Structure 1
Amino acid sequence: MREGSSVGGRATGAMGVAPHALALLALTLLAVVATWPLAANFTTALPSIPAERGQDVWQNAWNFWWTREALLARHANPYRTDALFYPLGASLYLHSLNLPQSLLGLPLLPAIGLVATYNLVTLLMLVATGYCAFLLTRYVSGSAPAALVAAFVVLCSPQRLDELRQSQLPTLSDYGLPLALLLALVTVRRRSWRWALATAAVVLVAGLSSWYHLFHLLILFALLMLWEAAGAYRRSGWAGARAALVPWLWIAGLSALVCAPLLLPATVEAATAA
């Protein structure tokens, strides 16, 4: 009896993993096809149109180098550099440093070089965003096929492919948006501060990828919070609406707390520059 239960449990676990493995495989193949001929020139070319609109490729490649230089060679804050505007240096708090992806490149740079690192991270970001869209859609709809269609649409959307041609790696790295929305929904359903903390951590990662993602999440969270509060009000009046706001207050407070060390100097810099 126990043996049968164990076998049944393993089979159920395998069935649970299979949709995710198939989704990742399909998204990886789709990313290679959508970016072709990038894979054929993986170590010799960067994904960029040869015009002014694609010039950001150089600053995004520089981000990989500078993050490694600052953290491993100089043991310094990567958001401050003297490699620009020497000898005065420059603050990078308002610069799209794309820190999470640059950190991902730390072990890759000495192993495969800058060009291949840039290209590999680009493909990983496409797959990651598609997969996070898959997770969000599956959670909301309960349908793996529908989630896979949504992931394909997100990965191959005209805006995303245009961002790829313009070498906008920071904005292309928006996997944090669907993932943060998913975790926020789980927080609301389970009413757990631990899930709120996980949501805040993803909000931080999204903001570190690009400040635009943080602004987009603020808008999305506000709309979703109002929707949840309105539904609770219709069901239970003001008491229900107030109760529905509690998980969102957890998310807001924890997100502000984890983002403050970077948001505060960025805000000061923006105010000073203005």
Structure 2
Amino acid sequence: MTKQDLIECHNRIKPFIHNTPVLTSRLINGVSGAELFFKCENFQRMGAFKMRGAANAIMQLSEEQKRQGVVTHSSGNFAQALSLAAQGLGVKAYIVMPNTAPQVKKDAVRGYGGLVIECEPTLEARERESKQIEEKYGATFIHPSNDDQVILGQGTACMELLEAYPNLDYVVTPVGGGGLIAGTALAAHYFGKECSTIGGEPLETDDAYRSLLSGKIESNETTNTIADGLKTQLGDRNFPIIQQHVEEIIRVKEAEIVTAMRILWERLKIVCEPSSAVAFAAILNQKEKFKGKKTGIIISGGNVDLAHLPF
């Protein structure tokens, strides 16, 4: 994926996304010891960065493919993103969701025009149901994170950040399925000036950290983390990019995620989800590394269940 691919992607999706604000806080800079720039994708349409990749992936389909619709399996932000992007482009979206997904998420997907198909809460069931929809309706499957067009779309958030602040030393993102950090790493490589990409990951689901060490995609035995958006694993499309362009992945404990999230709510005055706070938690975990450095953070989303806040 080239610099030109990213530029063309950004130009393509601009009418369908927000160029989200970048916030700073002298108080948070004081707490962290770094000069931080928060790219607030919690203000993106449907409340998360995933709108970018979803819009780009659909726009790259042929007219025939668009007529047949798209399908994905997701219980979270990508389900909403693909539904909203498809609605704006006049494309039918089939969303396979585990029957254990919160009702509020199912309602949100339906509100954006997605057709919800419920299945058992296992990856096998999700994949099987998606395959059946592909075969029955001719819909094109779009993976939430392991798809070149999705990766390019997610990279546009970092592009915008570097347009506003071109001299960043680091960009830090959360790591879940790998789409955001892979796209960010490409954007930092092509548009930054000696700008390194760092990942933040919960200690409880540290598959990406272990994958970089072993050189192959690792899985998680447990998914016991408050960062519910980061329970997925890397894929064969994004992992090679991460291997090549990501400097390090920093692991953080659950208590550190909650502390970071609380500081962002209290001091930055924004609603961000636990997964977003993982990137900031990584900086607080490694203060010496980031001391005095101009550091961008992708606040990945703000879709929080307000009935179950961790503080």
- TM-score normalised to the size of structure 2? 0.26
Choose 1 or 2 for highest CA Rg: 1
Higher RCO (CA 8 Å, separation ≥ 6 residues): 2
More strand by share: 2
More helix by share: 1
- TM-score normalised to the size of structure 1? 0.28
